[in-house]
Amino acid sequence: MIKSITHNTDETLQLGKSLGSKLIAGDLVLLFGDLGAGKTCLTQGICLGAGLDKNTYIRSPTFTLINEYQGVVPIFHIDLYRLETEEEIMSLGLEEIIYSKAITIIEWPEKLISNKKPNEFKFGIEERIEIHIFSKDENVREFTFSPVLLSSREHPIFPLL
């Protein structure tokens, strides 16, 4: 597990950018953290690092649920906050996205935790990069990065810099 602290949105963008530049097609990033923690801000950086044009505006998918961009590879940015029922979650076509040759970034991945088995995610998700964000102060954010079951991935992601 790796920890980073940022003190403003710019630092969070840079942190995201470092990670984004190391991601490859097929990677899945799960972003845990409360409202306003900085999940969307970090995603904006990840997208830049993954080759998205800096003039592309990365909106929060709060209402669209799924936004798709074209970086070096396709990038899906997903926000599950508003989803309530199992049915809503299952009807999004997430499985196809997660297992595609794209980078997938998911806010509120708690919604994918299996009801029956709290240690497991839906769709058989195993390999993933978990990022947990904690608000330490108004502008201070702590990020922990945990690659989970990524031993077969060819290139290491960490250290980030």
Quick note: the x/- pattern for ligand ADP over 83-122, rule CB under 6 A, is ------------------------x---------------
Quick note: the x/- pattern for ligand ADP over 133-152, rule CB under 6 A, is ------x-x-----------
# binding residues, ligand ADP (CB under 6 A): 18
Residue 40 binding Mg ion, by CB under 5 A: yes
Q: In Å, how far from its chain's centre is CA 5? A: 17
H/E segment holding residue 96:
helix 94-98
- CA torsion sign, 55 to 61 to 62 to 63? positive
Residue 40 binding ligand ADP, by CB under 6 A: yes
Residue 36 binding ligand ADP, by CB under 6 A: yes
Residue 111 binding Mg ion, by CB under 5 A: no
Residue 141 binding Mg ion, by CB under 5 A: no
Residue 35 binding ligand ADP, by CB under 6 A: yes
Distance from C-alpha of 147 to C-alpha of 156, rounded to nearest angstrom: 10
Distance from C-alpha of 11 to C-alpha of 13, rounded to nearest angstrom: 5
Distance from C-alpha of 68 to C-alpha of 72, rounded to nearest angstrom: 13
Closest CB to Mg ion among 144 and 153?
144
Residue with tokens 């990524």: 150
Q: 29, 46 in Cβ contact below 8 A? A: yes
H/E segment holding residue 3:
strand 2-6
Residue 20 binding ligand ADP, by CB under 6 A: no
Among 17, 39, 122, 141, which residue interacts with Mg ion (rule: CB under 5 A)? Answer: 39
Interface with Mg ion by CB under 5 A: which residues? Answer: 39-40, 60, 107
